[in-house]
Structure 1
Amino acid sequence: MTTRVPTTRRYLMCPPRFFAVDYAINPWMDPTQPVSAERAMTQWRELRDTYRRLGHTVEEIEPQPGLPDMVFAANSGTVIDGRVLGARFRAPQRAAEAEHFRRWFTEHGYRDVVMPTCVNEAEGDFAWTGRMLLAGTGFRTDPAAHAEAQEVLGVPVLSLRLTDPRYYHLDTALFVLSEATDTTPAHIAYYPEAFSAGSRRVLARLFPDAVLATAADAECFGLNGVSDGRNVVLPLEATDLAERLVVRGYEPVLVDISELRKAGGGPKCCTLEIRK
């Protein structure tokens, strides 16, 4: 069994103080079903505190009334080597979030902040492997945003096409378990059926040792996980995936995100990683 080594991470999160499902912009959202902002806040706090117990730093941005999806901070920026590429949302209901996050970065000392010209939903569709940026398209982020990200962030970008509307962001179908180092390749987990045939072939060629998730894993947002290289934060229901990860030397940490999932989000959706 491979020995997995955790690395300390820095995250930006937004409390779901104004959480609601007042509209439907993905297949998981149903405004006719009741949601509890109080329960969402309890689950979010447990997720935040889990990161802190694992030794990570969590910073918080102030939520804004009228922006119930602002809790899904991952969609609002991509940060690599201290460079920040902001977001440009496809849904008008979320458009105002981008400016609040841009302001947070500039107020916290980030000078290299670029706002995109193309629709770009940030870490929702971008996954950093330590060597390249995996970039999703098909439902939200424009294909042209991939070239823009390469130019702004100065890293190679690989485009992947999503084909199942339930997995409308890359982070609902794939996440990085451990980043590449000088001696080891990146390790990922993904749900093959969420991708086009060509993208599946690319992933199989680049990541032959990937953990392949089942439909049950994907449907409970198991691929919306967050890993520090050893500890992997997953939704409570992702038991099949958790078992596979244990065999590969990881330590699954299961959390309840059932209320947040009603808006189509999970652990990663709530978590923007700041890579300095």
Structure 2
Amino acid sequence: MSITDQEEEPASAERPLRTPRARTVLMCRPEHFDVVYRINPWMNPGLPTDTSLAVRQWDELYRLYVGLGFDVRLIEPLAGLPDMVYAANGAFVIGNIAYGASFAYPERQPEAPAYRAWLRGEGFEVVAPRAVNEGEGDFLLVGETILAGTGFRSSSASHREVAEVYGREVLTLRLVDPSFYHLDTALAVLDDTPGREHIAYLPPAFDADSRALLAERYPDAILVDGDDAAVLGLNAFSDGYHVVIASRALDFARQLRDHGYEAMGVDLSELLLGGGGVKCCTLELRR
């Protein structure tokens, strides 16, 4: 559903026109979701986890994508891999080439071959990684450029590797706040169209050099406040017009409307207990 204020704001002629583009995405139903270990600050195995609620919330996101005309593919969830629901971490895909993941923590490492096998079965050319990386959690495509996160999970060596695989410019961004341990928790791609690149991000999540680089490259970016980032509001997915975000990220929704987007809120509060949100559940498959 759209996130709106109590009163409709008047239309503004200054708001840019946004064009949606249907996406193909991979998702994994959280049938085995649980928090049984701690590999990020969001996780606390001592708190109760409701797997059935996680599935119901995930189903809302799935239905929203289908309603937007997305081609949603599903990978079979495997018992013993509670974080497999965070499909974005399974690979990075551009032009039918899938750069596979190599997880930093042993608890998640068995996910990587499962995602590589699925991608091969769907006809993608799969590149096995040499360097530690966590897929689209730390690699985001904006126009022709790959933004690449490091500091907590993916290594800087994986940035060089992904540049070799795709032959594209790669900009390294260093994350410094452990609550935003993947790039896609601190930065959202709103429009990835070459020539119309637009992003949103949380400045304090990055070191000084990365903040300067982002400010220079994307001067019109939306700067999101800490309250919205704290509910993983930036862990969002956009088709260029509709931006699916955490339903509690209310000011971010307002900022999106001011920039000509339609903000669509979903409640993934149960999956937030594992440190993931909308984008974590969504791996884009770019043919």
Q: TM-score range by the shorter chain?
A: over 0.9
Q: Distance in 2 between matches of 1:241 and 1:109?
A: 37
| Per-residue CA distance 1:88-108 (angstroms, 9 max, x = gap) | 000000000000000001111
Counterpart residue type for residue 156 of structure 1: E
Q: Distance in 2 between matches of 1:156 and 1:18?
A: 37
Structure 1 residue 204 corresponds to structure 2 residue 215: yes
TM-score of the aligned structures, taking structure 2 as reference length = 0.94
Match for residue 127 of structure 2 among 114, 129, 146: 114
Match for residue 241 of structure 1 among 244, 252, 256: 252
| Per-residue CA distance 1:32-57 (angstroms, 9 max, x = gap) | 00010000000111101100101111
Structure 1 residue 219 corresponds to structure 2 residue 233: no
Q: Distance in 2 between matches of 1:115 and 1:218?
A: 32
Q: Percent identity?
A: 51
User: 1:67-86 residue pairs with structure 2 within 5 A?
Assistant: 67-86=81-100
Give the ranges of 4+ consecutive aligned residues of structure 1 lying more than 3 Å apart after TM superposition. Answer: none
Q: Distance in 2 between matches of 1:120 and 1:39?
A: 30
Q: Distance in 1 between matches of 2:221 and 2:184?
A: 15
Question: 1:186 corresponds to which residue?
Answer: 197
SS at match of 2:29: coil
Could you list the runs of 5+ residues in structure 1 that have no partner in the other structure?
A: none
Question: 1:154 corresponds to which residue?
Answer: 167
How many residues align structurally?
Answer: 273
Question: 1:52 corresponds to which residue?
Answer: 66
Question: 1:265 corresponds to which residue?
Answer: 276
Q: Distance in 2 between matches of 1:153 and 1:259?
A: 35
Q: Distance in 1 between matches of 2:152 and 2:134?
A: 10
SS at match of 1:200: helix
**What's the offset of the Cα at 1:131?**
1.1
| Per-residue CA distance 1:158-212 (angstroms, 9 max, x = gap) | 100000000000000001100133xx33000000000000100000000000000
TM-score of the aligned structures, taking structure 1 as reference length = 0.98
Counterpart residue type for residue 138 of structure 2: D
Q: Distance in 1 between matches of 2:123 and 2:175?
A: 35
Could you list the runs of 5+ residues in structure 2 that have no partner in the other structure?
A: 1-14
Contact 1:175/1:225 (<8 A) preserved: yes
**What's the offset of the Cα at 1:155?**
1.6
Structure 1 residue 34 corresponds to structure 2 residue 45: no
| Per-residue CA distance 1:37-90 (angstroms, 9 max, x = gap) | 000000111101100101111000000000000000000100001111000000
SS at match of 2:280: coil
Structure 1 residue 15 corresponds to structure 2 residue 15: no
**What's the offset of the Cα at 1:139?**
0.3
Indicate the RMSD between aligned Cα atoms, in angstroms: 0.6
**What's the offset of the Cα at 1:130?**
1.9
Counterpart residue type for residue 119 of structure 1: V
